[in-house]
Structures are given as structure tokens and as C-alpha cells.
Structure 1
Amino acid sequence: MNRIKKSRSLAFKGLLIGSCLFLPSPSFAGDFDELITLFGAFKGGPGGDLNQDQMVNYKDVFLFALEWKLRFTIIETTSPAAGEGGVAITRETILRFDRPLETATINSDSIYAKFAGAKLAARLHVGPDQDTVTLFYEENLPPSSLVRVTVDGDLLKDFEGKGVDADGDRGEGGIGTFDFETLTLSTIPGTAVFGRVFASEFSTAKGTTQEVNVPLEGVRITVDGMEDIWNTTTDNMGNFTLDPAPAGRFFVHIDGRTVQSASIDGVVTDTTFPDGPYYPFVGKAWQS
């Protein structure tokens, strides 16, 4: 997850601008005069003669504090994180905001992902608290690719009707982007992955009280994004070989729903998906 933290307050000598505001009387001198001088030259903020009365004084500090206190909704976290690599091509994109959004403004113009300059078709799902948006892509993401996610804060509004601070400049609106890279799906001759699949429950060895693993026959294993090409099935001893296999890190799904029978409390029982007992469908990251 990518967490973005922003400070919402600034401290000057004896003055806190943010959630609270403490201003001395305008008749005070000394340190307050120094504060006014500092405020007039403040970099990165709207310092100076805000009320345009040809003076920089405590009134301008007050106006500055009010403007600083205005709170705009920000992007709090993203998944994948900005700059993340090796992202599964079946993975969704999640955006979490620090305050609820106006759902009517959530659409493919205000939030979208692009690859090679073209938008990726995706369904936008809004969380129950209206502060989370998930992009479910209609097709697998392209492998070995840079994907850019864009949030248009000029179009996307929060529950108060204000534009989302998407670019992180502490102002209303703006366009923010972040990139991530999908994993590489390529093979190297001679690369294979092999192993065994067991049931999660143990069985008692015949004639003993010793508990032993139960191999599962008929489990289907597929590589995400290449299910029709890279797949294998376990034999009667639970063994499998995936050959060829992708080089490096890749993602698979282990489908126990294809198993025909299971040993439940020592009794062999037929497995039927979805109405009867069955083994689960599990996703894993593997490294070859």
C-alpha cells in the first residue's frame, strides 16, 4: 500500500495555524512584528497582502489561517503502490481517499488507467463508506507493461462538492497520476516448476495411529493470464510438473474444485462444486 501523509498545520513563534489559531492583540509589538515580516515572505503559501489593504498585518495572517484550514480531500493510499513492480496481471487497482466522495462524479473520466496511451476498460466499484474506489479491469492487464492511473480532481468531487486534491498541492482540484509495472511472463528453455498438493486435513495411516498427509489427485494449476497455455493437473500422488514455467516471479491459481473425492473423518466422499464438499480455489505467488 502506498500511504501519503500530509501535514495540516504550520507553527510560527507563538502562533499555530491549522486546527487552532492564536493571534495576539494588534497592539503587541516585538515578536509579532517579526512574525508579520516572516509571513509576508512565506514561501509555498499565500502570504502577503491577502485583503489588499496595502498592509501586511494580523488581518492577513488571519485570512491565511482561514484559507489554510480549508480541508480538501486527498488520496490517502493506493494499491498497487506508486512505482510498484511485478504486479499480477489479474490484480485490481484500489484508491482510498481520506474523506467520502460524491458518487455521481465517480466515472471513467475522473478515475481511469491507461496503457500505451489507451484507456483500459474497467468497472468502478465504490466502497460502502464512499471513500474507496476499486478498478476491476475487464481484461487481464498487459504483462511487462507500465500502467498509469489518473485521478482528475477537477471532475472528482468529495461529499461537500469540492474538487479532490489529486495532485497534492493542498488546493482544490488538480490531476494526479501514479504508475506501476506488471510482471514479466516469459519462459527460459528448461525452466519448470514441480511439487505436490496435499489436503489440509490429515488422515490416519492404515493399521496405525499415525497421521499422514493426503495427496490430492485432479487439482488443476494454472498460470494467471496464460491459463489455456500454462497449466497442469496433479496425479494420484498429488504430484505435478509445470513445464514450461515462467521465469522469475509469477502468479498461479490452484483449483481444488476439480478434485473428485475427499477423505472426510476417514470416509471417502465424493466432492461436488458448488453444492457439496469441495476443496478451495487458491491464488499464490511463485518464484522459478
Structure 2
Amino acid sequence: MSDKFRAAVRGKVIVITGGARGIGLATATALQALGAKIAIGDIDETTVKESGTARDFELYGKLDVTDTASFESFLDEVERTVGPIDVLINNAGIMPTGRLVDEPDQVTRRILDINVYGVILGSKLGLARMLPRKTGHIVNIASLAGETHIPGLATYNASKHAVLGFTDTLREEYRGSGVHFSSVLPTLTNTELGSGVTPPKLLRPAEPEEIADAIVGLIAAPKSKVRVTAVAGAISRFVGFLPEAVGDSLGRALGSGHAFLDDVDAERRKAYEDRARSV
């Protein structure tokens, strides 16, 4: 990373939810290397302590993004022990796959609670701290799935569409307040969340470090959205401009109709699915 990024990030207090592994941990590691003060929270108390200890982050601990008391007390501890929060990255999310008719109601609720309510709650609590200081940045991790429709991910798609609409609305609602709002739209990424999934044709999976680099860039120079990878983002936007029937046909030709259904390696994916579904 260039000196420009280092200067923009150095000394900032940055909170990352879902920070124990994957994109969250890669982002925390990249930002720490640039001199940021890092606090990671995660529902997985054991793993977040292991990750935080190994990297000597300023603060790490259990965080349930669906619970107001848990979220509020975590942010309070950050501000008490590390300093006023400059950036809040709402990264926690889950992606169970399968046909909607086979999705248990508790799994549907869990996806929406974590992916949507957790982002709304985190943004609300972060905003309440940032507005009086007239400075801050809330970064919400969405997905390219939030700009399209992928069989096998109906509820997940809905949750990420919601994150995009929510973040765009906040950006306009608080224009001029000094607080920035950004969405990050990754393609399928090489983390446990994407395990056992066959990527659609032409779309290589992103590495978590690529998402982390994009987030660093957003913090250094805030803008409304960043899509990763650039190729996947360009295809997503191009398909969105096409007539519906043509866009759907192109998606099927690329394999999106089976990538998260028939082409999933259930054995490789089982550990993640069990954890995401809390089996």
C-alpha cells in the first residue's frame, strides 16, 4: 500500500464485525499494517480471541450483531479503551445455500437478523456516536448478489439488496453531516463462506485480501460503492442494463443457475453450512 493510504489510515480507530476470519480478518490485518487501531468482534468467541491475540489487535471479543446490548457494550468498550470510533465496518454475514422451499424458517430469520438487522443496528449505533463529532465512516459489506438474482440464494440475495438500499438511503439522509457511508460488493470470495461452491464461468473467486484492499481504498478516499473484482462488477452492471430475458439467459449461460444449487459440493460445504445455520 502507498504512503497515501498509510497517511489516511494511520491512527484511526476501526471496528470490524465478523472479524474473526475471512474478509473481516483480512481487512483488520491490512488496516493494522497501515497503522490503524483495530477492534474486532465476532459471535465466535473462541476464534475471535485466537485471531485477536495472534495479531495483537487493540481489542477483540464476543459480539452478537443481532443483540442491541451486546453491540452497544462492545462499541462502548472500544471508545473507553481504544478511542472514539472513526470507522465501523459492518461485515458480519452468513450465506446458507439451497432452494427456498427447503429453507427452515429459523434459517430465513437468522439470515435476515444477521445480514440486515445487524447492519441496521450497527449503523444506527455507530451513527449516534459519529454525528456529534461531525466525522466518521460506516462501511457496510453487501455483495454483487445485491445487484442481481441467483438461484439458491433467495434470502441471501434479499438481504444484500436490503443492505445496498439502506446504505444508499443513509448516504443521502446524512449528506453534509461529516459522516460517510459506503457499500462494498464482493463477488464470490475464497473464504469459508464460499466453500464447496463452483464459481460461474468467467468469474474467478476473489481473495479476501482483494476485498481488504478495496476497503482500505474506500477509507482513504470515501465513495458510495466499490465492486470486487472489477471484472465481476463490470459484468454485474452490464447484465443489469440488458433486457430481463437477455440478462437471465446470460446468467444461465455463465452457470449461475446451478452454482449455488446442483453444483455445490455438499461435503466440502457442510462445516460452514452447519455453523451458519447454527446446527
Tell me if TM exceeds 0.5.
no
Indicate the structure whose relative CO is greater, using CA pairs within 8 Å and at least 6 residues apart: 2
- Looking at secondary structure, tell me which structure has more helix per residue: 2
Name the TM-score, length of structure 2 as normaliser.
Answer: 0.23
TM-score w.r.t. length of structure 1: 0.23
When Rg is computed on C-alpha atoms for both structures, the one with the higher figure is 1
